[in-house]
Amino acid sequence: MSGPTGNLKNYEDRIVRDPAVCGGEAVFKGTRVTLRTILASLADGDSPEEILKDFPALKPEDTQAAITFAAASAEEDLPVPAVPHIR
């Protein structure tokens, strides 16, 4: 099994920011569907299949890109706690 970002390292190809679209918020390329909306739907327990039904402009690769983005962000943002020294 590859690492959390190994399946779709190129989420940058699917998630873009454009000041002229949704005030510069991250959206899925070619849509006005925000990354924040999809991540919130996933956090609420919606399946990728449900999300694709709700947002027909999205492709399965978009929901995977959202998950990959979140995993990559967690890798970068969460510090690893120091391991206590055991004597």
pLDDT for residue 67: 93
pLDDT for residue 5: 43
pLDDT for residue 75: 73
Q: Which two tokens stand for residue 32?
A: 């006005």
pLDDT for residue 74: 79
Does residue 4 belong to any structural domain of this protein? Answer: no
Domain that holds residue 27: 11-72
Q: Which two tokens stand for residue 76?
A: 């970068």
pLDDT in tens, the chain (87 residues): 344 445 546 788 899 999 999 999 999 999 999 999 999 999 999 999 999 999 999 999 999 999 999 988 877 666 667 777 776
Task: List the CATH number of the domain containing 62.
Answer: 1.10.10.10
Number of domains into which the chain is organized: 1
pLDDT for residue 9: 60
The Cα–Cα gap between 5 and 2 comes to 8
Does residue 84 belong to any structural domain of this protein? Answer: no
Residue 86 sits at φ, ψ, to 5 deg, of -105, 130
Rounded to two decimals, the pTM is 0.76
The Cα–Cα gap between 33 and 82 comes to 39
Residue 16 neighbours by CB distance under 10 Å: 14
